[in-house]
Amino acid sequence: MRNGIPVSPGVAVGTAYCIDEIFVNPDTKRLEPGEVQAELARYERARVKTAADLRALTQKVARQVGPHEAAIFASHLAILEDPAFDEKTRAWIAEHHETAQAALHHLLNEYASLFARTKDEYLKLRLNDLRDVVLRISGHLSEVLQPDGKAIAGPLIVVADELLPSHVVALGDRPVMGIVTQAGGQTSHAAILARSRGIPAVSGLRGILKQVKTGDRIVVDGRDGHVVVNPDAEIESAYRKLQREFFLLKDQLAANRDLPAKSADGETVQLLANINNVADVKAAAAMGATGIGLYRTEYLFLTHPSVPDEEEQFQAYREVIAASPGNTVTIRTLDIGGDKTVPYLGHAREANPFMGWRSIRLSFEHPELFATQIRAILRAAAEQEASGRTVRMLFPMVTTFEEMRRLRTMVDRARRQLESRRVRVGSVPVGLMLEVPAAAVSIRSLLPTVDFVSIGSNDLVQYLMAADRDNPKVSHLCQPLAPPVIRVLTDVIAACNAANKPVTLCGEMAGSPRGFLLLFGMGLRSFSMSPAFIPSMKELLCHLTVAKAESIHRRVLSHKAISQVTRYLTEQIKKIAPNLAMLDTA
């Protein structure tokens, strides 16, 4: 048994699928002599498809973003068509009887070792380009295989160093029942993905990829942070019993989806959903969401083969809006940067990318790309006004008053562009996503510039605590229940309520029983969370009164240590709704 950071509650038993950052499995079987030619042909088909992808990308990015940004794909095509690259890969297949995936893995390792010895920054950047090319080829070759080359049957437990948005795209609709990562914490992307799908996950297990191989039996206990590799029959039976209890509780809670979201004393609350695509919208409706509090549009860009143009974005947004439950859909503009990157917006290396050229800062750098998205949102909103739906536009990582005024100007300009084309434009409320401490400190001066506020607690916590949320060594600091975080949230919510500006919290804190209890006591009445957690929060809410929650909040404000806050809130949850304790991480 290994102990890590519990990041998504529940228990899962399944088959391990180990991945590295480019989805090449070095443990794949060796080929029989009669299989070599077929494998060479499979590699060639993938290489040709990759070349076609890169040519199309070069043309589209040059047209929509600019020739400088398109040059990256021209260089990737040059790598792909380099005779040395092709010959080395074919040699690993033909002479060593490796699969195409394993051959690419060996090739990448060979170049990585070579480039590691150089001090030339240009060559180091070329290694990133090589990784991208290998990732594209691997994407055309990708299959979930055991070491013997047979497809894995049954539920999968993904084991990885870390799980990035690009990896999530590559996993697609495979039956992932649990996630284990070496890196990351409670607000990492692996954690967010796991909670959005309602599946157990444990992070921070250093060295786990050396102890687990694809095809192993593995248990994930996301409540206590335990991972068991190849358990004996008795241990597996015990965990399967816990797994059944977990799913039974989720099924029981899902039955409340048609009930109103009200507290025990009749206070109405908005339980909204965080979504990435139409599939998530359907899950939100099935779980009883009262609207969409956060539509992360970057996943449209991450999954698109090139750059989505205005018409493609318009169609995607209108599809999401039309399928959404309730009357409110909040669309966040492109939140790229940090660990979410698209090649056509550059590969600049930054010492600290999470505090660098990302989100709204990147959008300012590419005003036409940004304007295209704004126009698509305004068009989609216009279509829905007749049905009574409100579409809101949310800007991520706003830091200053000047930025918010500039954003307003850009929205007005996009509106005029559409009107000049005689295109109908929707009336769209504009809001800021409060993630930066500077914005929290100056919230009262920012409120006159916005129509609403969404608190992004995941980033706000890591910036306040100066602790990278994906680094397990500092995960003990990156806690939403830390007293400094609680005080900042208390002040922001109070300021918004006093100014009569709608405020929602859309970080992972909203879907945690302890976090929800505390936020309700602060006066928050709009929560946005992973769809899987809406029934649980509705269940908690019906046992709460405003007076009780406010009393708990006042008591928490007197605590000085994270451990005191956590212990006290855990005790309160057990008293108020004991059945929900299983759905909160330790």
- Lowest-confidence pick of 1-10, 73-82, 118-127, 531-540: 118-127
Label residue 417 by pLDDT band (50, 70, 90): very high
Domain boundary among the residues 104, 126, 141 is at 141
Mean pLDDT, range 436-459, rounded to an integer: 96
Mean pLDDT, range 513-540, rounded to an integer: 94
pLDDT at residue number 133:
84
Same domain, 159 and 37: no
Number of domains in the chain: 3
Mean pLDDT, range 67-92, rounded to an integer: 82
Label residue 90 by pLDDT band (50, 70, 90): very high
Same domain, 458 and 373: yes
Same domain, 422 and 499: yes
Q: Note whether 291 and 326 are within 8 A (CB).
A: yes
Nearest to 274 by CA among 14, 534, 499, 483: 534
The CA-based diameter of the chain, rounded to the nearest angstrom, is 75
pLDDT at residue number 144:
45
pLDDT at residue number 383:
83
pLDDT at residue number 68:
62
Is the per-residue pLDDT at 441 higher than 90?
yes
- Tell me the C-alpha distance between 492 and 508, whole Å: 17
Same domain, 128 and 192: no
Is the per-residue pLDDT at 381 higher than 80?
yes
Q: Note whether 31 and 41 are within 8 A (CB).
A: no
Q: Is 443 helix (H, G, I), strand (E, B) or coil?
A: helix
pLDDT at residue number 69:
61
Label residue 102 by pLDDT band (50, 70, 90): confident
Domain boundary among the residues 141, 158, 192 is at 141
Mean pLDDT, range 251-272, rounded to an integer: 88
Tell me whether strands 11-18 and 217-221 are parallel, antiparallel or unpaired: antiparallel
Is the per-residue pLDDT at 230 higher than 70?
yes
Average of per-residue pLDDT values in the chain: 84
| Strands annotated E in 429-511 | 430-434, 452-455, 503-505
pLDDT at residue number 576:
93
Mean pLDDT, range 512-531, rounded to an integer: 95
Q: 383: Cβ–Cβ under 8 A, 6 or more apart, which residues? A: 318, 321, 424, 426
Q: Note whether 487 and 453 are within 8 A (CB).
A: no
pLDDT at residue number 44:
92
Output DSSP code: residue 304. Answer: S
Tally of CB atoms within 10 A around 336 = 21
Is the per-residue pLDDT at 436 higher than 60?
yes
Is the per-residue pLDDT at 24 higher than 50?
no
Q: Is 23 helix (H, G, I), strand (E, B) or coil?
A: coil
Same domain, 153 and 137: no
Q: What CATH number does the domain containing 336 carry?
A: 3.20.20.60
Q: Note whether 334 and 363 are within 8 A (CB).
A: yes
Q: Is 168 helix (H, G, I), strand (E, B) or coil?
A: helix
Instruction: Kindly state whether residue 221 falls inside one of the protein's structural domains.
Output: yes
In sequence order, the β-bridge partners of residue 202 are 6, 180
For 224-292, give the secondary structure using H, E and C: CCEEEECCCHHHHHHHHHHHHHHHHHHHHHHCCCCCCCECCCCCECEEEEEECCHHHHHHHHHCCCCCE
Q: Is 60 helix (H, G, I), strand (E, B) or coil?
A: helix
pLDDT at residue number 356:
67
Instruction: Kindly state whether residue 28 falls inside one of the protein's structural domains.
Output: no
In sequence order, the β-bridge partners of residue 528 are 272
Is the per-residue pLDDT at 487 higher than 80?
yes
Instruction: Kindly state whether residue 261 falls inside one of the protein's structural domains.
Output: no
367-to-193, 337, 370, 409, 414 alpha-carbon distances in Å: 30, 16, 5, 12, 11
Selecting among 106, 189, 226, 366, the annotated active-site residue is: 189
Instruction: Kindly state whether residue 486 falls inside one of the protein's structural domains.
Output: yes
Residue 311, both tokens: 């018409």
Instruction: Kindly state whether residue 257 falls inside one of the protein's structural domains.
Output: no
Same domain, 394 and 309: yes
Selecting among 18, 478, 496, 506, the annotated active-site residue is: 506
Mean pLDDT, range 86-97, rounded to an integer: 89
Is the per-residue pLDDT at 195 higher than 70?
yes
Instruction: Kindly state whether residue 260 falls inside one of the protein's structural domains.
Output: no
Mean pLDDT, range 96-118, rounded to an integer: 79
pLDDT at residue number 513:
92
At 292-348, the pLDDT tens digits run 999 999 888 876 766 788 999 999 999 999 999 998 999 999 887 655 665 556 555
pLDDT at residue number 303:
67
Same domain, 300 and 173: no
Same domain, 273 and 242: no
Percent above pLDDT 70 for the chain: 83
- Tell me the C-alpha distance between 192 and 221, whole Å: 16
Is the per-residue pLDDT at 255 higher than 90?
no
Length of the chain: 586
Output DSSP code: residue 193. Answer: H
Q: Which is higher by pLDDT, 124 or 419?
A: 419
Label residue 363 by pLDDT band (50, 70, 90): confident
Domain boundary among the residues 250, 278, 306 is at 250
Q: Which domain holds residue 422?
A: 268-583
- Lowest-confidence pick of 272-281, 501-510, 564-573: 272-281
**Residue 96 designated active-site:** no
**Residue 506 designated active-site:** yes
pLDDT at residue number 122:
56
| H-helix segments, 339-480 | 359-365, 367-384, 401-420, 437-441, 443-446, 457-465
Instruction: Kindly state whether residue 49 falls inside one of the protein's structural domains.
Output: yes
Same domain, 16 and 152: yes
Label residue 452 by pLDDT band (50, 70, 90): very high
Same domain, 246 and 223: yes
Beta-carbon-side half-sphere exposure of residue 122 (alpha carbons within 13 Å): 1
pLDDT at residue number 515:
95
Same domain, 120 and 193: no
Q: Is 14 helix (H, G, I), strand (E, B) or coil?
A: strand
Instruction: Kindly state whether residue 262 falls inside one of the protein's structural domains.
Output: no
Percent above pLDDT 90 for the chain: 43
pLDDT at residue number 244:
86
Same domain, 177 and 311: no
Q: What CATH number does the domain containing 65 carry?
A: 1.10.274.10
